[in-house]
Structure 1
Amino acid sequence: MSDRDTRHKQSMQKLKSHVDKKVAAATEQRGLLLVFTGNGKGKTTAAWGTVTRALGYGYRVGVVQFIKGMWECGERERLAEDPNLEVAIMATGFTWETQNREADTRACQAVWAEAERMLADPEVYLVVLDEITYMLKFGYLDIATVKRAIEQRPREQTVIVTGRNAHRELTAMADTVTEMQEVRHAFNEGVQARRGIDY
């Protein structure tokens, strides 16, 4: 065995020992709070990937779309027939299109009622609150209400929160926070969003 092969084997043995210790230490089982935030692309896509994973195991999933629900959504179209998936949509489109705070607040409160129902249901394994961060930022929802619903959810239920500028109180209570960082985005260079790729 060459020196390089020997060093590689030793490195992999060390890595395996480290991973094995972490696996052995992870003994708690419960639902999680995941926050996907940051200014980079992929937060909603990552959430839909997790939705697909949960549905693949036959779990019930609820998705609440606070902003992009009026747009085409390839993931939603593909999964819509799954009897274990429920999707609730805030039926106003982008808030910067409507420019009507009162109407947007009413629409947000209506779809939030659906979210609260899902968050209280022990049969729902995963709840996605897609783009809810904007609802908090614009004041359509208050953080205490959202936190209370998340904290009081069934123990086995996982919640995913997506959107830019996640509220600091949500990130503080989260089990996992992933920040998508934009390095370059084609849209900023004048390239249109592409069907099947961007939505």
Structure 2
Amino acid sequence: MLINMLYIYTGGGKGKTTAALGTLIRAHGAGKTCAIVFFDKNSDYCNEFKTLKQLGIEAHIFGQNRIFSSPFQGEIRGGFRLSNNEDDLQQAQNALNKAKELVDKSDVLILDELLNSIRLNQITLQDALNFIDNFPKEKFLVLTGRGLPKEIAERANLISEIKNIKHPFDRLKSVAVPGIEY
């Protein structure tokens, strides 16, 4: 009996997208057709998007720049805008629509940060569940992000929780490094 394979990388630590990309690269190397849709990310801060395009892997990115700078103890520190505007909501819907278009032509489909888009109320949980429940049984779906709803967890075949043990941001003496953090 065929079952669709739902893999999830979640948690508060760094490395969820990196783990999903490892799965995608491995599958691509094995000759599988792969695609990725980035939810709530901006191409200015997503170097992996550029690399996937260079490798000929179908990749689509949706989202605005939510990064801002603010003073912190005499330094300029980056932060994230967590509130939604109409463009955020439209971008998330566009991402979900693109994911639906890619289902039939992908053996492995990654929806990066979909869980965040649910948590931030950009995508409804019901819309995500409908997508998962209608995903073809012979294919692999990989989700990433923080805030895994139990309804999605119940459908998963694999869940890996990425836990933050130590990070340079913890002491606020470091900023995101291009090519490493994004």
Same structural fold, with TM-score higher than 0.5 when normalized by the shorter chain: yes
Q: Post-superposition shift, 1:63?
A: 0.7
**Match for 1:129: what amino acid?**
L
**Match for 1:42: what amino acid?**
G
Mapped pair 1:47 → 2:31: no
Q: C-alpha offsets along residues 115-171 of structure 1, whole Å, 9 cap, x if unaligned? A: 11223x1x3111111111121112221112111112212222111110111111111
SS of the residue corresponding to residue 166 of structure 2 reads: coil
**Structure 1 ranges of 4+ moved more than 6 A:** none
Partners of 1:62 and 1:124 within 8 A in 2: yes
Provide the identity percentage.
Answer: 29
What's the RMSD between the two structures over aligned residues? 2.0
Q: 1:98 and 1:177, CA in 2 relative to 1: closer, same or farther beyond 3 A?
A: closer
Partners of 2:15 and 2:162 within 8 A in 1: yes
1:127 to 109, 125, 128: 109
Structure-2 residue corresponding to 1:118: 102
In the alignment, the residues of structure 2 paired with residue 140 and residue 74 of structure 1 have an alpha-carbon distance, to the nearest angstrom, of 23
Structure-2 residue corresponding to 1:183: 165
Q: TM-score, normalised by structure 2?
A: 0.83
Structure-1 residue corresponding to 2:33: 60
Count of residue correspondences: 169
Q: 1:130 and 1:173, CA in 2 relative to 1: closer, same or farther beyond 3 A?
A: same
Q: What residue ranges of structure 1 are gaps of 5+ in the alignment?
A: 1-27
**Match for 2:135: what amino acid?**
R
- Considering fraction of residues, name the structure with more strand: 2
Q: C-alpha offsets along residues 85-140 of structure 1, whole Å, 9 cap, x if unaligned? A: 21111131338448442221111111210011223x1x311111111112111222
Partners of 1:98 and 1:104 within 8 A in 2: no
**Match for 1:135: what amino acid?**
S
- Look at both structures and tell me which one has the larger radius of gyration over its CA atoms: 1
Partners of 2:43 and 2:49 within 8 A in 1: no
In the alignment, the residues of structure 1 paired with residue 82 and residue 121 of structure 2 have an alpha-carbon distance, to the nearest angstrom, of 16
Q: What residue ranges of structure 2 are gaps of 5+ in the alignment?
A: 68-79
Partners of 1:92 and 1:98 within 8 A in 2: no
SS of the residue corresponding to residue 68 of structure 1 reads: coil
- Considering fraction of residues, name the structure with more helix: 1
Bigger mean CA offset, 53-62 vs 42-51: 53-62
Mapped pair 1:89 → 2:72: no
Q: TM-score, normalised by structure 1?
A: 0.77
In the alignment, the residues of structure 2 paired with residue 98 and residue 168 of structure 1 have an alpha-carbon distance, to the nearest angstrom, of 22
Q: Post-superposition shift, 1:32?
A: 1.1
Q: 1:98 and 1:167, CA in 2 relative to 1: closer, same or farther beyond 3 A?
A: closer
